[in-house]
Amino acid sequence: MTPDDSVHEECGIVAINNGVAINNGVGSGGNDAARAAFYALFSLQHRGQESAGIAAADGRRLVARKGLGLVSGAFAEADMDALSGGVAIGHARYSTTGEPSLRNAQPFSVETRHGPLALAHNGNLVNAAELRRDLLERGVGLSTSSDTEVMVMALAAAPGDDWPERMAYCMTRWKGAFSFAVLTRDAAFVARDPWGFRPLCAGRLPDGGSAAASESCALRTLGCHAPVDVGPGRIVELRADGPADRGGVEPSARRASCVFEYVYFSRPDSVWNGAQVHEARRRFGASLAGEAPSEADVVIAVPDSSISAAIGYAQAAGLPYDEGFAKNRYIGRTFIQPTQALREQGVALKFNAMPGTVRGKRVVMVDDSIVRGTTTGPLVRLLREAGAAEVHVRIACPPIRHPCYMGVDMGGGDGLVARRLSIEGIRLAVGADSLAYLSLEGMMAALADAGGSGGFCSACFSGDYPLDVGGAAGKNGFEVS
């Protein structure tokens, strides 16, 4: 996906128990849990780059530290020293509800009648407006515009004899996507919504303890060799002797794992729902080559999330694969910049075409998706300026015609180019010699061939939402002057 045309990441969460028991309110474990969370968040940086936070507990107290920007810049050594204890949770954020400000950074922490509580969330509640209104009418004060604050306040007031019971009570009332991590003074939990929208996995740490994260790549960074998915509706406690199921709620009859995790979000080395992301993307590209072949000399990718699909296209088409763009990886993903003018400038700063690869050749340029349609055209022009004889654009997913309400900020309405233009109209707008998308049927068949199991949400392509989204608030719907 081109950087300015991208849908925006949802967030990444992590939870750690470093394997040192916490008993009788006596803290232990140093700050190893927080440091492990810090390094796990590096592996999830691609999911959110606006802010990062970590909360840690030592059996007596719970401390949180948060900062704006990348994980590497959000924390100082003094922050890590303050985050002592054997249990911790962490969060890397891209805002899907609420503006990108420090007050909306996660985890959120509060004092409750049961002790301190912190919560970090990946996803979006479609009934957040209703839940927020209920809290305000009950006299609960709210200080941010994030649906995650609504979640932590609801959990703080929920009935139940222990935190898993309170979590399950809330999970029956929350509608939408919510993989989340909870930290108390002496325990860490994770849970996944009954539809299974967002990924979440857990595993045993090599030297004792357990960890959970949005993607398996983060757990492998910590040395977990066999992470497993947390099932839809399940609550898992991270214990010193490994992850333990603590109940949950009934999974939805309609499973709805986000197919866009395979198209774009997840790192290619991650695995969830039985499919490795790289293999799914490679099969997307191979299916695309079968559906939309092109007489060409070379296949290139728009780095980096399209590389696997481009390799699959080239292999299936019997064409050479080569690098067509040099990418400046130090600029960052330009979608976080606030104006279109800056985003367009970011494209030119981030990519240069490779004349030695494309000069005089018929080029197939594979991208994972087109959302707004603002940067595919500039990339096609870069290839032509570098001497490409023809440019054939191939997109490894179907046209995106519907907004997402489950934690993916892709905009909506006429902002989605495939909603207002035909495929031929898009081709003319971007200046390609040809343009073709992978069909929905071809994408789902390729995902199944890669090992993907269970039901998937593809509403951004089909408009078939797995639950009622009529009450969903906009991204900044809770902002106040």
The last residue of one of the domains, among 191, 224, 256, is 256
Q: Say what the pLDDT of residue 154 is.
A: 96
Distance (Å, whole) CA 168 – CA 310: 43
Whether residue 404 is found in the same domain as residue 293:
yes
- Two structure tokens written together for 407: 């934690």
In a domain, 246, yes or no: yes
Residue 300 belongs to some domain of the structure? yes
Same domain? For 216 and 267 the reply is no
Residue 197 shares a structural domain with residue 335: no
Give residue 320's Cα distance to chain centre: 32
The confidence score (pLDDT) of residue 142 equals: 86
Given a cut of 70, the residues of the chain with pLDDT beneath it are: 1-10, 21-31, 95-101, 331-348, 471-481
Looking at residue 24, its pLDDT comes to 42
Q: What is the pLDDT of residue 408?
A: 82
Residues 6+ apart with CB under 8 A from 135: 142, 150, 153, 154
* Nearest CA among 130, 145, 137, 143 for reference residue 175: 130
Residues 121 and 242 in one domain: yes
| Residues 280, 244 share a domain | no
**Is 474 inside any structural domain?**
no
Structure tokens at 65: 């530290």
Give pLDDT, residue 480: 43
What is the per-residue pLDDT across 93-129, written as a single tens digit (0 to 9) for each? Answer: 875 444 556 788 899 999 999 999 999 999 999 999 9
Specify if 324 maps to a domain: yes
Q: What is the 3-state secondary structure (H, E, C) of the chain?
A: CCHHHCCECCEEEEEEECCCCCECCECCCCCHHHHHHHHHHHHCHHHCCCEEEEEEECCCCEEEEEEECCHHHHCCHHHHHHCCCCEEEEEEECCCCCCCCHHHCCCEEEEECCEEEEEEEEEEECCHHHHHHHHHHCCCCCCCCCHHHHHHHHHHCCCCCCHHHHHHHHHCCCCEEEEEEEECCCCEEEECCCCCCCCCEEEECCCCCEEEECCHHHHHHCCCCCCEECCCCEEEEEECCEEEEEEECCCCCCCCEECHHHHHHCCCCCEECCEEHHHHHHHHHHHHHHHCCCCCCEEEECCCCCHHHHHHHHHHHCCCECCCEEECCCCCCHHHCCCHHHHHHHHHHHEEECHHHHCCCEEEEEECCCCCCCCHHHHHHHHHHCCCCEEEEEECCCCCCCCCCCCCECCCHHHCHHHHCCHHHHHHHHCCCEEEECCHHHHHHHHHHCCCCCCEECHHHHCCCCCCCCCCCCCCCCCCC
* C-alpha distances in Å from residue 287, one per residue of 269, 271, 447, 448: 21, 20, 10, 12
Calpha distance 44→212 (Å, rounded) = 12
Say if residue 171 is in the same domain as residue 296. Answer: no
d(CA 2, CA 382): 13
pLDDT for the residue 344:
54
CA atoms of 145 and 137, how far apart (whole Å):
16
For residue 479, is it within any domain? no
Residue 73 forms part of a structural domain? yes
For the stretch 296-309, pLDDT in tens is: 999 999 998 899 99
Domain-terminating residue out of 223, 256, 289: 256
pLDDT of residue 225: 82
Looking up residue 243, the CATH number of its domain turns out to be 3.60.20.10
* Domain final position from 240, 256, 272: 256
The reply to whether 460 belongs to the active site is no
167 and 62 in a common domain: yes
Look up residue 414 and give its two tokens. Answer: 């006429």
What pLDDT does residue 343 have? 54
Structural domains of the chain, count: 2
Range of the domain at 276: 261-462
The rounded distance, in Å, linking the Cα atoms of 302 and 134 is 46
Q: Is residue 135 part of a domain?
A: yes
Please check whether residue 468 lies inside any domain of the structure. Answer: no
**51 and 181 in a common domain:** yes
Q: Out of 11, 170, 258, 460, pick the active-site residue.
A: 11
| DSSP β-bridge partners for residue 67 | 52
Phi, psi of 245 (to 5 degrees): -70, 130
Assess whether 279 and 342 both reside in one domain.
yes
Q: Are 65 and 75 in contact (CB under 8 A)?
A: yes
CA-nearest of 130, 151, 96, 137 to 471 is: 130
289 with 231, same domain? no
Q: Which residue has the tokens 């909306």?
A: 104
What's the pLDDT score for residue 473? 56
User: What's the whole-model pTM score?
Assistant: 0.90
Residues 375 and 326 in one domain: yes
In contact, 393 and 380? CB cutoff 8 Å: yes
Examine the domain organization and report whether 190 and 283 are in the same domain.
no
Q: Which of 92, 179, 108 is nearest to 149 (CA)?
A: 108
CATH number at residue 329: 3.40.50.2020
